[in-house]
Structure 1
Amino acid sequence: MGHSITEDIAEIRELLKTREHVSGALADALKKARRRLPRRIYNQAMLLAKAEPLMQHPKLRLTLDEPALRKSAGEVSGYLKSVDLADRRKGRALTILGSMAFSVLAVVVLMVAVMRWRGLI
């Protein structure tokens, strides 16, 4: 990585916008995407979000652990790049179809139970 942590954070913000459809400051975007991110990735990204304001201050910037932040940025961007949007859409569609099928099945079972209880079957 030949670029700065600030550029890594900007890249992560852009990946969050394209892959997770959340925008804004890094901390705000992460809060919106929290349930779609694995806990480890979320925690690594929150480390970056907490470090972001300190990056602007010359003396406070020296207190940051740059190798750890670079590692966190690499993990988060690697995960976000690996997200398959088509697979996520298929999964969401299958979840909806599965819940609809379960609902129809439950209604049919209840109808049969009521008909049997009333002696119609």
Structure 2
Amino acid sequence: MTGGQVDKYTDEVKHLIEQRLRIKGATLEKALSRSGRLLPKWAQREGRYLAQAGQFMGHPKLRLMIDEAKVEKAHKNLVEHLSAIDPSDRRKTRVLGTLGVVSFNLIIVAVVLVSFLMWRGYL
């Protein structure tokens, strides 16, 4: 495995994070740290391993510590997971969740107002 191939893997994963999660970062490490809870723990762990492998490829002795099969597996798993994320579906879910909370709060306020008016004898 060459350093260029690992760099290609990290660039592809970073591009998918920017495209699917709308998170920008100068490097893959920055993008992963900004993703927070949007990615599961296993994806965070594999992304960190991929970023670390990219750093180790620049050093001749540390290059021997890299497990090529693990790098390829991490890349494959991350690409599959990030490709399955639909940005418009995430946005729609977020908007519907917010509208649900607002409508529930309005219903509670209306019930409290009506019960107060009945208690005071205005209804």
TM-score between the two structures when normalised by the length of structure 1? 0.89
| 8 Å contact kept, 2:20–2:82 | yes
- Runs of at least 4 residues off by over 4 Å: none
Q: Could you say what secondary structure the match of 2:65 adopts?
A: coil
Q: What's the RMSD between the two structures over aligned residues?
A: 1.5
- Opposite residue 5 of structure 1, the aligned amino acid is V
Q: Partner of 2:61: helix, strand, or coil?
A: helix
Q: What residue number does 1:21 align with? A: 22
Q: 1:34 matched to which residue of 2? A: 36
Q: Give the aligned residue type for 2:54.
A: E
Identity %, equivalent residues: 33
Q: Is the CA contact (8 Å cut-off) linking 1:6 and 1:55 kept in structure 2?
A: no
Aligned residue identity for 1:38: P
Residue matched to 2:73? 71
Letter paired with 1:83: I
Kindly provide the amino acid, as one letter, of the partner of residue 17 in structure 2. Answer: L
- 8 Å contact from structure 2 (residues 47, 74) kept in 1: yes
Contact 1:9 1:48 in 2 (8 A): yes
Kindly provide the CA deviation profile for residues 9-35 of structure 1, in whole angstroms up to 9, marking residues without a partner as x. Answer: 110011111111222211111111121
1:12 is matched with 13
**Partners of 2:83 and 2:43 in 1: CA distance:** 12
**Are the counterparts in 2 of residues 19 and 83 from structure 1 also a CA contact under 8 Å?**
yes
